[in-house]
Structure 1
Amino acid sequence: MKAVAVFPKGREVKVIDVPEPRLRAPSEVKVRTLEVGVCGTDREVVQFKHGKPPEGEDHLIVGHECVGEVVEVGEQVKNLAPGDLVVPRVRRPCPSEDCLPCRTGNTDFCVTGEYTERGIHGAHGFAAEYFVEDVEYLHKVPRELREVAVLTEPLTIAEKALREVAHIQTRLPWKRPLPGRAVVLGAGPVGLLGAMALMRAGFQTTVYSRKPPPDAKSEMAESLGAAYVSSKQHRVEELVKQRGKADVVYEAAGVASAAFELVKGLAPNGVFVFTGVSESEEEELDQGELMKQWVMNNQVLIGTVNAAAVDFEAAVEDLRHFRTKWPGKVEKLITARHRPEDYAQVVNGEKRTDIKDILVFSRG
């Protein structure tokens, strides 16, 4: 079967032919891959800054954002049947008996770093015509979500972030009539899906991104009912004057300098959520002023990575809600569908489009 793989030793990216997988355990499910999303993590893998093949192999099949169709199930699988649509989770638990998160099904909080992630670290991904997965890591998706289900995994980033924010803010003993104000840093797919999730939760939401309007991202944000402010045109101080300080900042840009500049726009008692991974930047920060701000305002800064089963279930439910609330808008986040052979050109920018690029393996 066809698969898209990277070869770290030769620094190659190519479509290869590999054996079609078979069920090897009664709890496994064979899935026909329909679509695979391309994201910033793929760029890091292709640039060989991140990613690791399975032990003993010279290549890594990429792809961690996926929707597929069940074609075969093991004899112990009761809740899935051929024809069902599914999205797979990405991370698998580490082997350490001392890792309480992994032993309790919370691999997104693994403490050893010895986990595997399909398509990223130590395990082949989903950018192949078929894959086999244990039923434990698959989530059923309603057929009505077929055209947008590939967005489930990037939406789980926001779902986990909101879950963590809600838990953190139980530290505040009073109740508020509304969640308050939120600012999303970045207007890519993770940022726009995050804006939708924040608005669904009741936040007055602003998308703060570099590119001046009008463009596809600003138009999308505004069509959802979010405000859009360009960081190229308006400094953080101006953003605060226009929109007020943010009770929650959801960072989805992966640019350290922009993120720490925006910390100045966080409200007292607010929570700043980092989701991106940035390369080192030669930026001078006023560390004393930042420390003073965090202490004097009881602020919380957290990092969040990966997602749990509960976040995938929430994402599927929210995708259904988004399509009802904003008819046609979720579909427009996907700005191009490509052949698997185009993967390298999409990742390196030659064929990249405005918001979200998808690889199509089967129409299903």
Structure 2
Amino acid sequence: MKAIAITPGAPGAELIEFQEPEIKSPTQVKLQVLEVGICGTDREEVTGGRANAPQGSGHLVIGHEMLGRVIETGSEVSAVRPGDFAVFTVRRGCGKCEACLNRRSDLCYTGDYTERGIKSRHGFETEFVVDDAQYVIKVPESASSIGVLAEPMSVAQKAIDEAIKIQLARLGKIADEEWMAGKKVIVAGIGAIGLLAALALRLRGAEVTGVDIVEEDSRRPSILKRLGGSYLNAKKVAITDLDDRLGQVDFIFEAAGVPQLGFDLIDALGINGVYVMTGIPGEGKPVCIPGSDTMAQMVLKNQIILGSVNASTLHFEMGIKDLERAKNRWGNLVDELITTRIHFDNFEKALDFRSSDDIKTVITWK
């Protein structure tokens, strides 16, 4: 079968012949890959950036955002059956730490986890994949047109879920499962993950303001506004003025990966607010922050700032449910998050594609 692979540390990718996997355990599932999303991690890998091949292999099959169809299951599998749409999660735990032993590899203590298409385990940019059923999540047919968004949506879901759980733990009767309803929220960076976060937050009743540097009449702000959010161009509005403009901001979801913006946004966070960073910046220059003012603000306003990476199986499940809810509420608007589909024969075009209007480029394998 065909697969798209890289040599870690070297620029470029190639279409290779790869052995088709077979089910070897009664708990395994085999998927025919239908679509694989492209993100910044894939493009970083293709330029020689962070990536690790599996032990004993000189190459790495890339791809970690996927949608497939079940074609075969082991005798003990009941979660899915042939014909179902499904996705596999990305990270596999270290098998040693308390988090991984409790199916929270996203919180691994040792760092010895592996990730499909990223770290020491082949990914999904290929025709067929096999994995254990504990890593498979069924996608309802009604959400299959956007099922490839499950992985980036899971990242957004984890950040939102952790913010809500923090507020439930510390605010008690002041907060409940509906805590986001009516709250003012900033989503910084309205690419794929930011827009998916905005979508999930709007489903929870939050008042969402997106912040980015694209023009207001471009695709991404347009989708945000049709979801019921509002947009501010950071080129035209000072980040340090956001608190005066918006008032009490209860939650900030950062998905831009821009250090100066990330730290400047702390100024906008309100009393008892939670700020979750999900963007991972590349190497860059040091940034300046008003240390005394920022520290005093965080203490005096009881603010919490945390980082969030990857996601658990639960967050994949939550994300798929929200994608289905979004399809029911907004119809084909959600499909507009997938801006480009390119067949694997032209994978170079997909990996090289750059546009300010691009949200999610997908490589198709069917």
Call closer, same or farther: CA 1:322–1:293 in 2, change over 3 Å. Answer: same
In 2, Cα distance between the equivalents of 1:145 and 1:310?
18
- The residue that corresponds to 2:316 in the other structure is 312
What's the TM-score once normalised by structure 2's chain length? 0.94
For the residue of structure 2 that corresponds to 1:56, the secondary structure is coil
Match of 2:257 among 254, 257, 281: 254
Task: Give the Å deviation of 1:57.
Answer: 0.7
- The residue that corresponds to 1:50 in the other structure is 50
Amino acid at match of 1:328: N
- The residue that corresponds to 2:17 in the other structure is 17
In 2, Cα distance between the equivalents of 1:198 and 1:351?
26
1:45-96 per-position Cα deviation (integer Å, ceiling 9, x unaligned)? 2222211110111111011110100111111112322111101100001032
- The residue that corresponds to 1:224 in the other structure is 227
- The residue that corresponds to 1:132 in the other structure is 130
In 2, Cα distance between the equivalents of 1:123 and 1:138?
16
- The residue that corresponds to 1:202 in the other structure is 205
Is 1:241 aligned with 2:268?
no
Is 1:164 aligned with 2:167?
no
Task: Give the Å deviation of 1:350.
Answer: 5.1
Mean CA deviation greater in 85-94 or 286-295:
286-295
Call closer, same or farther: CA 1:352–1:128 in 2, change over 3 Å. Answer: farther
- The residue that corresponds to 1:264 in the other structure is 267
In 2, Cα distance between the equivalents of 1:350 and 1:192?
18
Is 1:110 aligned with 2:116?
no
Mapping of 1:68-87 within 5 angstroms? 68-87=68-87
- The residue that corresponds to 1:354 in the other structure is 358
In 2, Cα distance between the equivalents of 1:216 and 1:224?
13
Task: Give the Å deviation of 1:352.
Answer: 8.4
In 1, Cα distance between the equivalents of 2:167 and 2:159?
12
Mean CA deviation greater in 80-89 or 174-183:
174-183
- The residue that corresponds to 1:328 in the other structure is 332
Question: Do 1:212 and 1:232's aligned partners in 2 also have CA atoms closer than 8 Å?
Answer: no
Mean CA deviation greater in 247-256 or 174-183:
174-183
Match of 2:98 among 97, 100, 107: 100
- The residue that corresponds to 2:214 in the other structure is 211
* Identity %, equivalent residues: 36
For the residue of structure 1 that corresponds to 2:3, the secondary structure is strand
In 2, Cα distance between the equivalents of 1:206 and 1:140?
32
- The residue that corresponds to 2:174 in the other structure is 175
Mean CA deviation greater in 287-296 or 81-90:
287-296
Amino acid at match of 2:32: R
- The residue that corresponds to 1:65 in the other structure is 65
Question: Do 2:219 and 2:357's aligned partners in 1 also have CA atoms closer than 8 Å?
Answer: no
In 1, Cα distance between the equivalents of 2:17 and 2:360?
26
- The residue that corresponds to 1:5 in the other structure is 5
Unaligned runs of 5+ in 1: none
Tell me the matched-pair count.
360
Amino acid at match of 1:121: K
- The residue that corresponds to 1:90 in the other structure is 90
CA RMSD of aligned residues (A): 1.6
Mean CA deviation greater in 350-359 or 11-20:
350-359
Call closer, same or farther: CA 1:231–1:94 in 2, change over 3 Å. Answer: same
Mean CA deviation greater in 336-345 or 200-209:
336-345
1:28-51 per-position Cα deviation (integer Å, ceiling 9, x unaligned)? 111100000011111222222211
Question: Do 1:128 and 1:361's aligned partners in 2 also have CA atoms closer than 8 Å?
Answer: yes
Mean CA deviation greater in 236-245 or 277-286:
236-245
Amino acid at match of 1:147: S
- The residue that corresponds to 1:302 in the other structure is 306
Task: Give the Å deviation of 1:283.
Answer: 1.8
Task: Give the Å deviation of 1:349.
Answer: 3.4
For the residue of structure 1 that corresponds to 2:145, the secondary structure is coil
Question: Do 1:189 and 1:355's aligned partners in 2 also have CA atoms closer than 8 Å?
Answer: yes
In 1, Cα distance between the equivalents of 2:247 and 2:345?
46
In 1, Cα distance between the equivalents of 2:312 and 2:236?
38
In 1, Cα distance between the equivalents of 2:314 and 2:173?
27
For the residue of structure 1 that corresponds to 2:350, the secondary structure is helix
In 1, Cα distance between the equivalents of 2:332 and 2:57?
43
Mean CA deviation greater in 351-360 or 254-263:
351-360
For the residue of structure 2 that corresponds to 1:50, the secondary structure is coil
Call closer, same or farther: CA 1:20–1:284 in 2, change over 3 Å. Answer: same
1:93-142 per-position Cα deviation (integer Å, ceiling 9, x unaligned)? 1032xx10011111110000000000110100011000101111000111
Amino acid at match of 1:12: G
